[in-house]
Structure 1
Amino acid sequence: GSVPGQGDTLLQKRFHDLGQSTDAFSSVQYVGTQTITPPTDYSQLLQIVNQQVNNTSQRAPRQPAIV
């Protein structure tokens, strides 16, 4: 099974390995999806994006079009 947060850690490591920093972001969150039968269901990604847009703990709220 997967460990919660492991995808986030691996994603940050991948950026680091490519010489890229994630310091400008308050968080990095991996959202994976697998398509067995098309079309791909992006509802989980949309839910996470909406949560992040509405998260004002680190900054002022922004409209989704700005993100």
Structure 2
Amino acid sequence: MTRLVRRRALLIGNDHYADSRFLPLPSTQADIWGLEQVLRDRNIGGFVSITFRDNLTADDMQQAISE
């Protein structure tokens, strides 16, 4: 018997940083959108659930991953 796998993804895109040494990343939102399209495509990724979070701290990332 084959078990149906429900694939889930968490996409985290940080484009702004509290450290002024790092410039904003202008293409982060577009990159995340493109990756989401690939992951949702039944013939490529087939993910049923995709969550997007942006500009998280390290602690917030750990929390999102644990959820």
Per the normalisation by structure 1, the TM-score is: 0.31
The higher relative CO (CA closer than 8 Å, separation ≥ 6) is in 2
Per the normalisation by structure 2, the TM-score is: 0.31
